[in-house]
């Protein structure tokens, strides 16, 4: 088992990660009867994409003796209706200044991000706009 999700009340859940014991809470978004005081489930999908992209880049970078400390992904989720779902995820990756790596290495790291497990798990109808900023 990976996790348990418990419905608390008022459209809030508590999610428990079994292996670590850590937890997160979710709320329904304000545009769908919620308070928006926590990540919504669809926020977690979009955020999970950003986390997976930067984590897989970090794994590859470590094997290349490159430190990506301070790299950041800004994620924007765009919802659509009929049916209500994530229509687009915009992910802007900003790499830390002073990496001093060549274009081939950048290409390798970008490919790793664009083919991370979460990206490969998203439905093909979810549009992805992924950009990279190499400072």
From first to last of its 135 residues, what are the pLDDT tens digits of the chain? 999 999 999 999 999 999 999 999 999 999 999 999 999 999 999 999 999 999 999 999 999 999 999 999 999 999 999 999 999 999 999 999 999 899 999 999 999 999 999 999 999 999 999 999 998
CA distance 86 to 29: 13
Domains of the chain: which residue ranges?
Answer: 1-39, 40-134
Stated pTM of the model: 0.95
- In order of 48, 70, 78, the CA distances from 89 in angstroms are 11, 22, 6
State the pairing for strand pair 85-95/127-134.
parallel
Architecture of domain 40-134: 2-Layer Sandwich (3.30)
């Amino acid at each position: 088992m990976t996790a348990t999700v418990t419905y608390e009340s008022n459209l809030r859940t508590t999610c428990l990660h079994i292996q670590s014991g850590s937890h997160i809470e979710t709320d329904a978004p304000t545009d769908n009867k919620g308070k928006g005081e926590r990540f919504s489930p669809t926020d977690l999908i979009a955020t999970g994409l950003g986390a997976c992209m930067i984590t897989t880049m970090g794994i590859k970078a470590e094997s290349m003796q490159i430190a990506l400390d301070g790299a950041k992904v800004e994620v924007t989720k765009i919802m659509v209706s009929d049916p209500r779902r994530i229509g687009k995820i915009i992910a802007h990756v900003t790499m830390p200044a002073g990496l001093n790596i060549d274009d081939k290495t950048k290409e390798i790291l970008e490919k790793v991000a664009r083919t991370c497990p979460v990206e490969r798990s998203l439905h093909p109808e979810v549009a992805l706009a992924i950009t990279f900023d190499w400072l």
